[in-house]
Every structure is written in C-alpha cells, then in structure tokens.
Structure 1
Amino acid sequence: MNTSELKSQLEAEISRTKKIIGEYKEMSQPISPDDAIGRLSRMDAINNKGVMEAALRQAENKLSALQSVISRIDSPGFGLCVSCNQPIPIGRILIRPESQRCVNCAR
C-alpha cells in the first residue's frame, strides 16, 4: 500500500471518528431536572451519560492518535516495526494508531 492510499484510509477513519465524537457529545448531554422521567429512569440516564462520556474520551484519544499518524506518515521508517523492522499491517495502524510494533513483537 502506498502513502497516498494510506493517507486516504487514515483521513476516512478520522472523518468517521469525528462523526462518532459528535454523536457521543450529543448523547452525553445532561438531562434537565425539569424533565419528568422518574427516579429510576433518571439514575439509568446518569449511568448512560457516564458510559457515553467514557466512550467520548476514548474516541477523542483515537482521533488524536490518528492525527499524529497522519503527521508522521512521510517520515522515514513510518509503518515499520521498531523491533523487527517489518511492515506493520495497515489494519493494525488504523485500529491502534499508536502502535509502533507489529503484532508478533507486541506480545
């Protein structure tokens, strides 16, 4: 895979991640105390808000890592394992952009 194809895949993943972040932000909005939803429903909503906030932080971290990968894509040695110097699969770079080792060396 050449650099331009990798950039386009990374940019697509960045776009998807930004969309997910927007959805998580919308779902983690506070519930107004004026809304009549009942005590148990309110407790459930508070719990769901905590889960959404955790997912939001994780998505924001992924976005930051993907943007870091894009900024390093033209550097020498990008996409090569720092341990064995073999190419890191593109799937691993997209899923775990912070990875600097191939699957075998990461064990």
Structure 2
Amino acid sequence: MTDVEKKKLIKIITSRIEEVKEEIQELKELVKPIPLDASIGRVSRMDAINNKTINESSLREKTQQLKKLERALENSESGNFGICTKCASEIPFGRLEYMPHTTRCVNCVG
C-alpha cells in the first residue's frame, strides 16, 4: 500500500467514525423508553415497542461498527495495516476503501 492510499484510508476511516457516532446519537434518542402515560393507542404502542426493538438492534450494530473502525484507525500506524491476518497477503485497496475495518482478504473471509 502506498503512502497516498494509506492517507486516503485514514481519511475514510475518520470520516466514517464521525458518521457512525452521529448515527449512534440518533439511535440513542429512538431507543428511549416509551412512557406508560403516553396517550397512544394499543396498536400504536405495539408499533412503537417493535420500532424500539429494531432501533436497539441497529444501535448494537453501529456500536460494533464504531469499535471496528476505531481499531482500524489504531492499526493504521502499524506496519501490518492492510495485511490479511490469516494468509499475510496484502488486502486489495478497493476492499479496504469499501470496508476499511476489514482484517482479511476476500479469499480468507469464508
């Protein structure tokens, strides 16, 4: 990986970290408890509970994604950044550009 590619990836990772943090904040607002005294109908309350459950799942997923991106940013300074952890070959730049948190090449994912 060239220095230009590495700088581009670091910029992508930093940008995605900020995006994910914003999404996490929005999801935290959506998963707040539904007050019992809220004047909504029974069906609407069931919909609200269902939506809350879906948003909680999304929040967990985004939190994991943030951890992976932060780990990738930390690893960007190491000499093995962009190297597959399984076969030790270089991960193609296009894959890292799309999934900067990945630690394996396409052949080793499966």
Identify the TM-score tier after normalising by the shorter chain: 0.7 to 0.9
CA distance in 2, matches of 1:86, 1:79: 6
In the alignment of these two chains, the number of paired residues is 104
Partner of 2:5: 2
CA distance in 1, matches of 2:40, 2:68: 39
> C-alpha displacement at 1:105, in angstroms?
2.1
Partner of 1:53: 56
Partner of 1:85: 89
CA distance in 1, matches of 2:91, 2:49: 44
> C-alpha displacement at 1:100, in angstroms?
1.9
- Choose the corresponding residue for 1:75, options 70, 78, 81: 78
CA distance in 1, matches of 2:65, 2:72: 10
Q: Where do 5+ consecutive residues of structure 1 fail to align? A: none
Which 4+ runs in 1 deviate beyond 4 A? none
Amino acid at match of 1:85: S
Greater RCO between the two (CA within 8 Å, min separation 6)? Answer: 2
Cα deviation, 1:63-87, whole Å, max 9, x if unaligned, reads 0110011011011121112315122
Question: Do structure 1's residue 36 and structure 2's residue 39 form an aligned pair?
Answer: yes
> C-alpha displacement at 1:3, in angstroms?
2.1
CA distance in 1, matches of 2:91, 2:41: 55
> C-alpha displacement at 1:5, in angstroms?
1.4
> C-alpha displacement at 1:55, in angstroms?
0.4
Identity among equivalent positions (%) equals: 35
Q: Secondary structure at the match of 1:20?
A: helix
> TM-score by structure 1 length?
0.87
Asked if the contact 1:87/1:102 (under 8 Å) is kept, the reply is yes
